[in-house]
A and B are shown apart, each in its own frame.
Chain A
Amino acid sequence: MIPELGYGAAIVALVLALWGAVTAALGARTGRPALLLSAQHAALAVFVLVTACFALLTYAFLTFDFSVRYVATNTNLGTPFYYRITGVWGALEGSIILWTWMLGLYTLIVILRHREGARELYPWVLTVMLGVLAFFLLVITVAAPPFARQAPVPADGRGLNPLLEDTGMITHPVALYLGFTGLTVPFAFAMAALITGRVGDAWITLTRRWTIIAWYFLSLGLLIGGWWSYHVLGWGGYWAWDPVENAAFMPWLTATAFLHSVMIQERRRMLKLWNISLVILTFSLTLFGTFLTRSGVIASVHAFTQGTIGAFFLSFLALVLLTALGLLAVRWDALHAQGELDSIVSRESAFLLNNVLFVAATFTVFFGTVFPLLSEAARGVKVSVGAPFFNQVNVPLFLALIFLMGVGPLIAWRRASFDNLRRNFLWPVLVGVAAAAFFFSLGVRSAIAVLVLALTVFVASTITVDFARASRARVRLGEPLLPAMGGLLRRHNRRYGGFGVHLGILIIAVGVTGSQAWSVQTETTLRRGEYAELAGYRVRFEDLTASEESNHFKVAGAFTVSNGRGLGVLRPAKKFYPQETSPIAYVDYRLGLREDIYLVLGDFARDGSQATVKFQVNRLVSWIWIGGLVLTAGAVLAILPEKKKAA
Chain B
Amino acid sequence: MSRRAWRWLIPLSALPVLALLAYGFRVNPREIPSPLVGRPAPGFALTTFDGAPLTLEAQRGKVVVVNFWASWCYPACYEEAPVLERSWRAYRDRGVVVVGVDIQDKAEAAQKFIRDFALSFPNAPDPTGKVSVDFGTYGVPETFFIDRRGRIRAKHVGALTDEVLRTRVEPLLGEPAG
Contacts and interface: CB of A to CB of B under 8 A. Distances in A.
B72 A150 contact: no
A283 to B, nearest CB: 13
Nearest to A579: B72
Interface string A277-314: 00000000000100100011111000000000011001
Interface stretch (B19-27, B90-98, B145-153): B19-27
A318 interface: yes
B116 interface: yes
A156 B113 CA distance: 11
B116 A152 contact: yes
Please report whether the interface of chain A is mostly helix, strand, loop or mixed according to DSSP. helix
Interface in B29-72: 29-30, 70-72
B24 A326 contact: no
A297 B21 contact: yes
Given A291-B21, A579-B72, A150 B78 contact: yes
Contacts of A581: 104, 132, 137-140
Contacts of A321: 11, 14, 18
B7 A314 contact: no
Interface in A364-400: 370, 372-374, 376-377, 382
Given A154-B78, A296-B30, A578-B104, A328 B10 contact: yes
Given A329-B10, A581-B104, A373 B75 contact: no
B8 A73 contact: no
A326 B12 CA distance: 9
Contact of A297 (B29, B106, B109, B137): B29
Contact of A155 (B25, B71, B138): B71
B29 to A, nearest CB: 3
Given A329-B8, A373-B20, A155 B112 contact: yes
A314 B18 contact: yes
A374 B20 contact: yes
B29 A332 contact: no
Nearest to B24: A297
Given A297-B25, A581-B139, A73 B30 contact: no
A184 to B, nearest CB: 19
A572 interface: no
B158 to A, nearest CB: 11
A69 B20 contact: no
A317 interface: yes
Contacts of B73: 158, 579
Contacts, number: 102
Contacts of B72: 76, 154, 156-159, 578-579
Candidate in B4, B21, B28, B112 with the most chain A CB atoms within 10 angstroms = B21
B24 A322 contact: no
Contacts of A328: 7, 10-11
Contacts of A298: 24, 29
A326 B74 contact: no
Nearest to A331: B7
Nearest to B29: A299
A318 B18 contact: yes
Contacts of B22: 314
A295 B25 contact: yes
Contacts of A332: 4, 7
A146 B62 CA distance: 43
Interface in B122-174: 132, 137-140
A329 B25 contact: no
Contacts of B8: 329
Contacts of B109: 155-156
Nearest to A578: B104
12 contacts: A152-B78, A152-B116, A155-B71, A156-B71, A297-B21, A297-B24, A311-B25, A314-B25, A318-B14, A325-B11, A328-B10, A581-B139
Interface of B: 4, 7-8, 10-11, 13-14, 18, 20-25, 27-30, 70-75, 78, 104-106, 109, 112-113, 116-117, 132, 137-140
The 9 residue pairs across chains A and B that have the minimum distance between CB atoms: A297-B24, A299-B29, A325-B11, A158-B74, A329-B7, A321-B14, A332-B7, A152-B116, A326-B11
